[in-house]
Structure formats: structure tokens, C-alpha cells
């Protein structure tokens, strides 16, 4: 039985290279099925849909638009009003609030002698009972958007949210993948996130005038902070290559040092004095896709090219596969290791900048335990801790497997303690698969 599993894992190329994508797909299907339910749309599209429904039934209708006072409902209301008025309807009143507001508005409309042909509502406001108090209106006049069945998990907003939250882990995991493929490890990335966050916000606050800092200042401060983290990574690499101290110890030391430094610099405080141009990176979007996701994808494409097509990537795999053989084949082992730890530090710094931008403040408490999340993503993505083997896109899939499990469990109301247990088990299963695969590879 065990034999059959190992044979399957080891020899089937589909499973070997893309096994984790199947797992991800399976999870998506699972959580889609579990979160399937009736969806009541609201927002601009729903508003236009309701307007069209009303216009179909009546010629030049007189309409009251009733919504709550939430951002999505306001979009709904604006779109509905616009579409109605463009097509010759008269909007007698637009209600944005609670049931009493609706009552008032309808009363006022009726008092002024108008008849109401339809009420544009959504699933919540249509359930209000106020309409039945007016015999000439009645809840029968409510028009609501068509509802449909769709998983909560697969809603675009949820998916983008998941991707947006994962982006930072995934970005840092690129560097970690490279480090782990050289059969090293970097525990300092979490602390470097905090260091970058504190550095960039202090630079902006104290040197560039805080809230009033310009775009150039933001660029300079961000670059400088990333450079600080790259330098910390380079220092890791230097200690590892020059003195042959195990990476685990060096980066554990750096983890403490960087964390201590960020608390010292920030005096333990969060730093919210950041200019609005700084938020573009973390909170802006292009064509509806949040910038962190775009940044992440771009970095993954670059990293994939580096690892599969460039000399540096070839050297990284070679060192992890057999450091001595690589050295004897003329690979500049120390330079490559130095480069890899520097890249890892820089990407952790970049992750810190994005996180700061997303959360609108610098904070020395950011990045706590990120190193473990990131290592987990790398391992789940199929990179071997023994070095020499692994794929960049595997890591992206690994990061998303973890993110999807977390999100799915949130949506299905699994309590946070159980979530931790599940995530731990997932990590172990990933390593188990790797071990079985490895067993089959040897003979």
C-alpha cells in the first residue's frame, strides 16, 4: 500500500510537478461546495438591473429608491437612479437609511399627490414592513435584483481578498525558496518585515515631513528601507559563508537583532504619520486588481525566469544539490549564497513596505511569525528542505493552499484553535509527501 503510494508519487510526472496544484484545485472545489448559498446582489450592477426591471414593467414610472446607508448600497442607489432618469422615469425619493426613513419619504411623496409605481429595493430593504402601511403602495411594488446561487468562497471580492492578504507572504516566500533550495534557511524575514516597516515610516515622518511627503520621498524612503533589509540579508550571507556558521543560527540571531532594532527605533510605538501617496502600493488597484497582487505576480514571473533560465538559478540548484560538487565545477558558491541571502532580505523588506502601506502605519510588531508562515508555504509548495529541489511557482501554490485553507475555514466558521491544528497537520502532510517522493527517487 505504502509502496503503491510512493510509486504513484514518484513516477507520475503530472503528480510530481503539479501535484500541489491539484490539491489547491481540490480545496477550491471543497470550499466552494461548503459555502454555496443564495446570493443577493447589491452594488452598481444590481442597481442597473433593478432599474431595467422597473422600466420593463412601466412606461415613465414614478419610483422610490430605498437602500441602507452602506457603501455598496449607495452604489446600488446611484446606479439605479442614474439608469431610471436616463430612461424617462421619475425618481420621487431616494432613501438611504433605515425603515423609518423610508416611511417618511413615502409619506411625503404620497402627500404631494404623486402615485408610486415601483419601489427599487434590494433583498434587505424589500423585507421591511413599512410598505404595507400604505395601501396604495404595498410590498408588492418592491422590485429587487434577481438572486442566484453562488459560493461565498468564489465571490470575486473574497478571492481578491485572499490573494491580497497572501501577496506579502508569497513575495517573501520567493527569497525563502531560493534560500531553502541552497539548503539554507532564513529565520530573520519576519523581523526584517518589521524593520522595513519601522524604517520607512520613520524616514517619512522625521526626514520627509510625514503626511505631506511627496512621491519622490516615498520612493527614496522605501528604497532605503529595502536596502537596509538587503544589507541585513547580506550580513547573514557573510556570516554563513565566511565563518561557516549554520544558517539556522545566524538568521536566528538576525531575527532577534532586527526585531530589537525595530522596537528601539520606533520606541515600541506604531507610526501612522504617512503620506497618502504611500498607500498606492498596498491599497491601490489597477483594473480592479489590488496592486500587491500585481506586484506579487510580476515578482513570481521574474523569479521563475531567474531560477529556470538564468545562470544564477542554475548555480542555486547546484549548490543545494551538492555544494562540494558545485564548487569543484567552478560555481562561485560563496558569492551565490551571499546573493541569495541578500535577495531574501530585500524581498522581506519589500514585504514590510507593502504591509505598512496596506495597514497605513509602521509598526515594530508587524511580521511576527511570518518566517514560519513563509517556510510553511515553501515546504507545502514542494521545495525540499534538503536543498537542490523545488520550484518557484510551487511556492506560490503552497502559499495559496495555506491561504485558501485559512479563508475557507473562516467562511465555514471553524474556530481559530482548530484552524491552527489543521494548518499544522497540512504542513506535516506536505513534508510526508516530500519524504515519500524522495524515497521513490532513490534506488
Catalog residues that contact other proteins under the rule CB under 8 A.
7, 10-11, 309-312, 314, 317-318, 320-322, 324-332, 388-389, 440-443
- Supply the minimum distance, in Å, between the C-beta of residue 378 and other proteins: 17
Torsion of Cα atoms, 157 then 419 then 398 then 374, to 10°: 100
The answer to whether 137 and 131 are in contact (CB under 8 A) is yes
For other proteins, give the closer residue by CB, 64 or 343: 343
Torsion of Cα atoms, 50 then 51 then 52 then 56, to 10°: 100
DSSP state of 206: I
For other proteins, give the closer residue by CB, 268 or 441: 441
The answer to whether 159 and 411 are in contact (CB under 8 A) is no
DSSP state of 271: B
- Supply the minimum distance, in Å, between the C-beta of residue 388 and other proteins: 4
- Supply the minimum distance, in Å, between the C-beta of residue 363 and other proteins: 37
As a whole number of angstroms, the distance between CA 438 and CA 432 comes to: 10
Residue 356 C-beta-side C-alpha neighbours within 13 Å = 38
- Supply the minimum distance, in Å, between the C-beta of residue 12 and other proteins: 10
For other proteins, give the closer residue by CB, 62 or 438: 438
Phi, psi of 233 (to 5 degrees): -65, -40
- Supply the minimum distance, in Å, between the C-beta of residue 440 and other proteins: 8
- Supply the minimum distance, in Å, between the C-beta of residue 183 and other proteins: 10
- Supply the minimum distance, in Å, between the C-beta of residue 439 and other proteins: 12
Among candidates 170, 189, 182, 183, which has minimal Cα distance to 344? 189
Among candidates 175, 149, 172, 160, which has minimal Cα distance to 312? 175
For other proteins, give the closer residue by CB, 16 or 48: 16
For other proteins, give the closer residue by CB, 209 or 441: 441
- Supply the minimum distance, in Å, between the C-beta of residue 6 and other proteins: 11
Contacts (Cβ under 8 Å, ≥6 apart) of 373: 169, 402
Among candidates 403, 395, 396, 401, which has minimal Cα distance to 378? 395
Among candidates 275, 332, 302, which has minimal Cα distance to 392? 302
Element (H, E) at 197: helix 189-202
As a whole number of angstroms, the distance between CA 150 and CA 41 comes to: 11
Cα angle: 212, vertex 360, 371; to 5 degrees: 135
CB count within 10 Å of CB 291 equals 20
- Supply the minimum distance, in Å, between the C-beta of residue 374 and other proteins: 23
For other proteins, give the closer residue by CB, 194 or 318: 318
As a whole number of angstroms, the distance between CA 114 and CA 202 comes to: 61
Residue 334 C-beta-side C-alpha neighbours within 13 Å = 9
Among candidates 207, 214, 54, 233, which has minimal Cα distance to 145? 54
Q: How many angstroms separate the most distant Cα atoms in the chain?
A: 95
- Supply the minimum distance, in Å, between the C-beta of residue 325 and other proteins: 5
For other proteins, give the closer residue by CB, 116 or 333: 333
CB count within 10 Å of CB 440 equals 17
For other proteins, give the closer residue by CB, 6 or 251: 6
For other proteins, give the closer residue by CB, 140 or 441: 441
For other proteins, give the closer residue by CB, 351 or 388: 388
- Supply the minimum distance, in Å, between the C-beta of residue 323 and other proteins: 9
- Supply the minimum distance, in Å, between the C-beta of residue 343 and other proteins: 14
Cα angle: 414, vertex 418, 422; to 5 degrees: 105
For other proteins, give the closer residue by CB, 118 or 180: 180
For other proteins, give the closer residue by CB, 88 or 332: 332
User: How far apart are the two ends of the chain, measured CA to CA in Å?
Assistant: 18
Amino acid at each position: 500500500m505504502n509502496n503503491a503510494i510512493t510509486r504513484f508519487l514518484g513516477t507520475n510526472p503530472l503528480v510530481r510537478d503539479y501535484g500541489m496544484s491539484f490539491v489547491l484545485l481540490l480545496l477550491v472545489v471543497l470550499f466552494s461546495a461548503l459555502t454555496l448559498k443564495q446570493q443577493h446582489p447589491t452594488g452598481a450592477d444590481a442597481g442597473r438591473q433593478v432599474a431595467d426591471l422597473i422600466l420593463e414593467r412601466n412606461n415613465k414610472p414614478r419610483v422610490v429608491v430605498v437602500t441602507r446607508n452602506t457603501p455598496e448600497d449607495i452604489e446600488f442607489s446611484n446606479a439605479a437612479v442614474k439608469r431610471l432618469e436616463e430612461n424617462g422615469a421619475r425618481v420621487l425619493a431616494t432613501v438611504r437609511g433605515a425603515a423609518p426613513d423610508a416611511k417618511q419619504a413615502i409619506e411625503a411623496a404620497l402627500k404631494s399627490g404623486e402615485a408610486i409605481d415601483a419601489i427599487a429595493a434590494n433583498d434587505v430593504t424589500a423585507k421591511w414592513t413599512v410598505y404595507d402601511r400604505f395601501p396604495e403602495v404595498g410590498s408588492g411594488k418592491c422590485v429587487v435584483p434577481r438572486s442566484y446561487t453562488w459560493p461565498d468562497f468564489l465571490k470575486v471580492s473574497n478571492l481578491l481578498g485572499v490573494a491580497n492578504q497572501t501577496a506579502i507572504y508569497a513575495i517573501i516566500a520567493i527569497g525563502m525558496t531560493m534560500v531553502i533550495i541552497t539548503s539554507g534557511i532564513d529565520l530573520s524575514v519576519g523581523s526584517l518585515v518589521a524593520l522595513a516597516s519601522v524604517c520607512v515610516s520613520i524616514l517619512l515622518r522625521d526626514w520627509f515631513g510625514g503626511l505631506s511627503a511627496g512621491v519622490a520621498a516615498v520612493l527614496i524612503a522605501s528604497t532605503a528601507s529595502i536596502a537596509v533589509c538587503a544589507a541585513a540579508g547580506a550580513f547573514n550571507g557573510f556570516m554563513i559563508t565566511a565563518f561557516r556558521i549554520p544558517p539556522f543560527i545566524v538568521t536566528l540571531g538576525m531575527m532577534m537583532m532586527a526585531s530589537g532594532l525595530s522596537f528601539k527605533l520606533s520606541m515600541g510605538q506604531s507610526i501612522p504619520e504617512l503620506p497618502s501617496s504611500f498607500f498606492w502600493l498596498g491599497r491601490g488597484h489597477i483594473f480592479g486588481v489590488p496592486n500587491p497582487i500585481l506586484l506579487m505576480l510580476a515578482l513570481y514571473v521574474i523569479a521563475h525566469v531567474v531560477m529556470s533560465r538564468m545562470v544564477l538559478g542554475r548555480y542555486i540548484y547546484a549548490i543545494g544539490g551538492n555544494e562540494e560538487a558545485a564548487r569543484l565545477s567552478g560555481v562561485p558558491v560563496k558569492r551565490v549564497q551571499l546573493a541569495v541571502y541578500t535577495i531574501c532580505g530585500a524581498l522581506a523588506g519589500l514585504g514590510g513596505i507593502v504591509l505598512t502601506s496596506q495597514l497605513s502605519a509602521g509598526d515594530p510588531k508587524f511580521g511576527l511569525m511570518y518566517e514560519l508562515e513563509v517556510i510553511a508555504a515553501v515546504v507545502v509548495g514542494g521545495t525540499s528542505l534538503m536543498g537542490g529541489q523545488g520550484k518557484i511557482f510551487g511556492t506560490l501554490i503552497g502559499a495559496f493552499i495555506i491561504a485558501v485553507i485559512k479563508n475557507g475555514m473562516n467562511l465555514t466558521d471553524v474556530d481559530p484553535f482548530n484552524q491552527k491544528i489543521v494548518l499544522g497537520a497540512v504542513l506535516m502532510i506536505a513534508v510526508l509527501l516530500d519524504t515519500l517522493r524522495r524515497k521513490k527517487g532513490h534506488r
